[in-house]
């Protein structure tokens, strides 16, 4: 599905304002991520596989309709605040394939959830919301990865052009931690080098990575700026990182 098709599909479902704003902002990212998943899935053969979506959202629904022959599992919170702009009520999360777990508890192996072994793990725009070391989180994810399973981690790039320019002006480019524990915002953002290193420490092998501008720009100025960064600067200045790990053990 293209960005436009994703927007039209979800906006036809009479979403509330927060959800409309969310899907409009993230439709470009979802289209990119769906293509990435399809390309990886294509190399996994024709038999049904288990896919884990960590942090359910609109994208969970896209997985469900795009891979009807595969078993889609989800992992995350069950409290009411887990629903909202990113996860409207129409997105079904079957209890039999849902695993409740606070990823910040990844630092305590004795508390780890024990999902079925999966062949593909997807965690998009979650890592930056955690205060626990990504090494612990990635180790937990690897605990339920089959041999040769792939893991896609999507997270903002800590060193985008905007971040660098903001720092040059003497300002902090990162938001303050919010006053609600259920939605605290971004605790930490990462670079590709950091994600490679932490993945290796957790026992993953880096397959490949991409740095893209996949958040929708709403103004002409924003679109021109994104085009300038995309075509005139190194990719390390772009806004979003997707790194793909492989469990070779």
pLDDT band per the 50, 70, 90 thresholds, residue 81: low
Tell me if 52 sits within 8 A of 144, measured CB to CB: yes
| Domain over 3-246 is classified CATH 3.40.50.150 | yes
60 CA to centre of own chain: 11
Residue that has been written with the tokens 């780890």 in this structure:
112
**pTM assigned to the model:** 0.93
| Residues 159-180 as b or e (16 or more Cβ within 10 Å = b) | bbbebeeeeeeeeebbeeeeee
> Tens digit of pLDDT for each residue in 105-143?
999 999 999 999 999 999 999 999 999 999 999 999 999
pLDDT band per the 50, 70, 90 thresholds, residue 246: very high
Mean pLDDT of 219-242: 91
Determine the pLDDT at residue 244: 99
pLDDT band per the 50, 70, 90 thresholds, residue 183: confident
Q: How far apart are CA 233 and CA 229, in angstroms?
A: 5
- Under the phi-then-psi rule, with left for phi > 0, alpha for psi from -120 to 50, and beta for the rest, what region is 14? left
Position with higher pLDDT, 181 vs 123: 123
Q: How far apart are CA 14 and CA 11, in angstroms?
A: 6
pLDDT at residue 79 greater than cutoff 70: no
Q: How much of the chain, in percent, has pLDDT values that exceed 90?
A: 81
């Amino acid at each position: 599905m293209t960005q436009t098709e994703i927007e039209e599909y979800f906006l036809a479902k009479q979403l509330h304002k927060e959800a409309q704003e969310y899907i409009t902002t993230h439709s470009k990212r979802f289209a990119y991520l769906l293509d990435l998943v399809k390309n990886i899935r294509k190399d996994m053969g024709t038999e049904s596989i288990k896919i884990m979506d960590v942090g359910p959202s609109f994208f969970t629904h896209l997985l469900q309709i795009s891979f009807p022959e595969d078993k889609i599992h989800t992992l995350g919170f069950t409290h009411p605040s887990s629903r909202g702009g990113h996860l409207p009520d129409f997105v079904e999360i079957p209890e039999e394939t849902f695993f409740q777990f606070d990823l910040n508890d990844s630092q305590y192996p004795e508390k780890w959830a024990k999902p079925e072994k999966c062949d593909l793990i997807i965690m998009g725009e979650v890592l930056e919301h955690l205060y626990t070391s990504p090494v612990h989180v990635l180790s937990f994810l690897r605990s339920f990865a089959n041999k040769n399973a792939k893991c896609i981690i999507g997270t903002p790039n800590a060193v985008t052009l905007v971040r660098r320019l903001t720092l040059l002006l003497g300002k902090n480019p990162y938001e303050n931690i919010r006053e609600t524990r259920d939605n605290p915002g971004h605790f930490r953002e990462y670079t590709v080098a950091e994600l490679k290193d932490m993945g290796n420490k957790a026992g993953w092998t880096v397959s490949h990575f991409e740095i893209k501008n996949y958040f929708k720009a709403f103004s002409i100025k924003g679109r021109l700026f994104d085009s300038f960064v995309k075509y005139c600067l190194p990719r390390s200045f772009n806004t979003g990182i997707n790194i793909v790990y492989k469990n070779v053990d």
